[in-house]
Amino acid sequence: MKSSKIIPFLFVLLIFACSDSNSTGNGEEENLEPSLRNSPTFPVGFAIQQQHLNNGNYVNILREDARSLSAEYEMKMNILYPSSSGINYEPINNFLEYAELNDTRVHGHALIWHSSTPGWLENFSGSDSEFESIVENYIRDIVSTYKGRIASWDVVNEAFSDGSGEYRNSVFYQKMGETYIEKAFQWAREADPDLLLFYNDYGTIYDQDKYLAMIRMIDDFQDRGIPIDGVGFQMHVSYNFPSLEAIENAVQPILDRGLMVHFSELDIRVNPEGEQVDFNAEFSNRLTARVEEIFGYYRTIPGQYRYGITFWGVKDDDTWLRDFWQNQNEWPLIYDENFQPKEAHQAIIDMFAD
């Protein structure tokens, strides 16, 4: 090729390379203003509900902010496998449709969780080995169907009891014993060798018995070659509890074991004593300070172990805390009820500005 032809050719290549790296996956230019999506050095994500994908206000926020998505409840077994007659793939397909169009990672939550077991399986009257086959087929089916499209799953959620670290007496434990956990991880690995496999739990920052039970399980898995790639700390925290030191002390041994850490369900109670009925400046300061503390610590974790931070909801009235804990006076997220970003949102972006 003559040099007069090479230069325009290189120019065209350059344009392609640039447009590709700036692409959101939907053919449009990415907004290069600092945002939650492009500022932090690790993925920030949100748990959302399927219906939010049809709401332009949510979609605008997600496209601006989210590098990762979790389903708040639609990728749990009671929704995906509502009756013994078959699996309903529709919710997963809907999440993936958005995610693939917008170049967003999908973290699956959760293959096995005692609280989302479908009624028909909870009351299963067949033999234990029939029960186990159902669970095995379910995990293999879901994981292999979405091989290469879902990046990671919480394979087992909340397997240990509060305050004792005993195995939670779930139907899975009753029918299969403690080996249900390792089997679930093995089936998932076999169905998609590239899938990242997480154990996810709450209270593991401050409940020492539960924490040690989880560590024992991880050590046992690693000794015996049972696959596990990471730990999800749910991080349903308050503005002042647990301490940063407690968070660091819980996370470090996970890093020492070569596992990734996901702060998987972050929400921050700013009004744990219920003293006020409005979100005020004091609460905003509490939220911002805590977000800065948590993100500030998380960014010090070596890059290969940072799976990301996922907020459990986008805006304050999404929060499960209001229904589940019957506490209407909580504002634990980084958008207000009117889709307006709170100070904490900007604080995160500012932390990563050069």
Helix residue spans in the chain (DSSP H): 3-21, 56-65, 77-80, 90-101, 119-122, 128-145, 171-176, 179-191, 208-224, 244-256, 281-298, 320-324, 343-351
Decide: is 297 part of the binding site for ligand XIL (CB under 6 A): no
Which residue, 173 or 352, has its beta carbon nearer to ligand XIL?
Answer: 173
Quote the least distance from Cβ 115 to ligand XIL, whole Å: 7
Which residue, 104 or 157, has its beta carbon nearer to ligand XIL?
Answer: 157
**Among residues 35, 104, 204, 234, which is the contact residue for ligand XIL, using CB under 6 A?**
234
- Out of 74, 158, 182, 330, the active site residue is 158
Strand partners for 269: 238
Q: How many residues touch ligand XIL (CB under 6 A)?
A: 7
Residue 110 preceded by cis peptide, ω within 30: yes
Quote the least distance from Cβ 73 to ligand XIL, whole Å: 4
Q: Which of 16, 4, 12, 68 is nearest to 42 (CA)?
A: 68
Decide: is 152 part of the binding site for ligand XIL (CB under 6 A): no
Decide: is 117 part of the binding site for ligand XIL (CB under 6 A): no
Which residue, 153 or 202, has its beta carbon nearer to ligand XIL?
Answer: 202
Quote the least distance from Cβ 48 to ligand XIL, whole Å: 11
Quote the least distance from Cβ 156 to ligand XIL, whole Å: 11
**Among residues 167, 297, 320, 339, which is the contact residue for ligand XIL, using CB under 6 A?**
320
Q: Which of 249, 247, 260 is nearest to 218 (CA)?
A: 260
CA distances from 78 to 68, 75, 92, 224 (A): 23, 8, 13, 31
Decide: is 157 part of the binding site for ligand XIL (CB under 6 A): yes
Give me 317's structure tokens: 């009235």
265 flagged as catalytic: yes
Which residue, 114 or 257, has its beta carbon nearer to ligand XIL?
Answer: 114
Length of the chain: 354
Look at residue 192 and give its three-state secondary structure: coil
Query: Is residue 122 exposed (0-12), middle (13-18) or buried (19+ Cβ within 10 Å)?
Result: exposed
Q: What residues between 180 and 219 interact with ligand XIL by CB under 6 A?
A: 202
**In this chain, which residue has its C-beta nearest to ligand XIL?**
320
Which residue, 35 or 199, has its beta carbon nearer to ligand XIL?
Answer: 199
Encoded one letter per residue, x for contact with ligand XIL by CB under 6 A and - for no contact, window 69-108 reads ---xx-----------------------------------
* Contact present, 239 and 273 (Cβ < 8 Å): no
Quote the least distance from Cβ 268 to ligand XIL, whole Å: 14
SS (H, E, C) 40-95: CCCCEEEEECHHHHHCHHHHHHHHHHCCEEEECCCCCHHHHCCECCECCCHHHHHH
C-alpha to C-alpha distance for 252 and 129, rounded to whole angstroms: 39
Chain positions contacting ligand XIL, by CB under 6 A: 72-73, 157, 202, 234, 265, 320
Which residues have a catalytic role annotated? 158, 265
